[in-house]
Structure 1
């Protein structure tokens, strides 16, 4: 049974949001989204994956990032979980959603990659695996963070870009090459895909196929690939709406 948060003139079912940002980022990336979700009466659990931000020293191997998410849900004994994965993190979040069973309420992919059985972030990299492999090899097995010019055209202010760049840390290449493992088709999960239009007006072919199913919903945002920085209030509102589905 879902928990209920009551107020003087309202009552809402409580969800537990587990927020996972994309490559180079940690839990800090959600700082401007978290307050709105908590003020609405929900549990909110931003998560830093192993090898990133304050967890840079934690080693990363096969399925480490998936297990990070599953372990957090189980450690806190969370129910009615809304798993949120941004960018790269859609891949481990989608796998974790498959594994947490009836704890899952919904999975939300924020302008993200999605897992395909046997494929990895690297193997499906839009510029080709060889280019990303070369970048990792030239940086000690880590994916170097983006520089300020790379964020142009994504609806970010100068201060927002500076904050992202200052907080980013190299991303462990082992996680990018980790093949996805799913026990059932991803289309069977209750899911929402948030498409950020400044990053591309159409979803990928894989995502478009999933959206054609009965359990997936599409929501569009008129911003770029990092909406937790460029439009945090709007992103929080969408997450609240999708949790109520």
Structure 2
């Protein structure tokens, strides 16, 4: 029996996993969707990037979880990758769901074409928060209008410090047992940044024929990949 710790990306909370969790539990596993500080029902809690790392570590250690499959989606791959190194032999596998992956000393915006200048400008204009994205942001990702409306309604502004502070790694990530899920609708462009750096023997690559939010667009298919990762 695995303990799945599920962390959604920017602006989202534990609620984003509502349609994935039943599949994991039906297969006999435990699922722990996690809201990071500063978001959703924790939106009033001040947060930097290391706060989010500690949120994940505290969830694992505070619940005394074992055989942990740690899942980080989008932005959450940054704190999840760091937390995976800190929970030691509690970790069974880490899954990056179409996510950013931390690099020591680098911020979430490190690979942005403008070096993160546009994001920093947005944070300055919005009191230090990354504002909720409009419905148009989710077009072309295999989502229904109802799903998009749900995402927009449930989203909260994202604390900016978590996006601009550098990651702190204890060692190479390629030592982690990991799966990277690349979400790419049929005909979409391949993400060269994934295929270029994907580590070797301890990492696997899985592709999903859907957009960036598979927990909404393909929850059953995503759950199946997560279940398979628990057996690796």
TM-score band by shorter chain is: over 0.9
Corresponding residue to 1:156 among 119, 135, 143: 143
2:11 corresponds to which residue?
A: 24
Whether the 8 Å contact between 1:187 and 1:210 is mirrored in structure 2 is no
Unaligned runs of at least 5 residues, structure 2: none
Q: How far is 1:35 from its partner?
A: 0.3
2:181 corresponds to which residue?
A: 194
Query: What SS does structure 1 have at the residue aligned with 2:132?
Result: coil
Number of equivalenced pairs: 231
Q: How far is 1:210 from its partner?
A: 4.3
Query: For the structure 1 residues 104 and 164, does the alpha-carbon distance in structure 2 shift closer, same or farther, using more than 3 Å as the test?
Result: same
Pairing of 1:70-85 with structure 2 (within 5 A): 70-85=57-72
Q: How far is 1:208 from its partner?
A: 2.6
Whether the 8 Å contact between 1:198 and 1:225 is mirrored in structure 2 is no
Pairing of 1:34-73 with structure 2 (within 5 A): 34-73=21-60
Pairing of 1:1-245 with structure 2 (within 5 A): 14-198=1-185, 201-205=189-193, 207-245=194-232
Query: What SS does structure 2 have at the residue aligned with 1:107?
Result: strand
Query: For the structure 1 residues 244 and 160, does the alpha-carbon distance in structure 2 shift closer, same or farther, using more than 3 Å as the test?
Result: same
| Alpha-carbon distance between aligned partners in 2 of 1:188 and 1:148, rounded to the nearest angstrom | 38
Whether the 8 Å contact between 2:81 and 2:173 is mirrored in structure 1 is yes
Whether the 8 Å contact between 1:210 and 1:216 is mirrored in structure 2 is no
Q: How far is 1:124 from its partner?
A: 2.8
Q: How far is 1:62 from its partner?
A: 5.0
| Alpha-carbon distance between aligned partners in 2 of 1:202 and 1:183, rounded to the nearest angstrom | 30
Tell me the TM-score normalised to structure 2 length.
Answer: 0.96
Q: How far is 1:126 from its partner?
A: 4.4
Query: What SS does structure 1 have at the residue aligned with 2:143?
Result: coil
| Alpha-carbon distance between aligned partners in 1 of 2:109 and 2:138, rounded to the nearest angstrom | 21
- Once superposed, which parts of structure 1, at least 4 consecutive aligned residues long, lie more than 4 Å away? none
Instruction: Quote the RMSD (CA, aligned, Å).
Output: 1.3
Query: For the structure 1 residues 139 and 208, does the alpha-carbon distance in structure 2 shift closer, same or farther, using more than 3 Å as the test?
Result: same
Q: How far is 1:211 from its partner?
A: 2.6
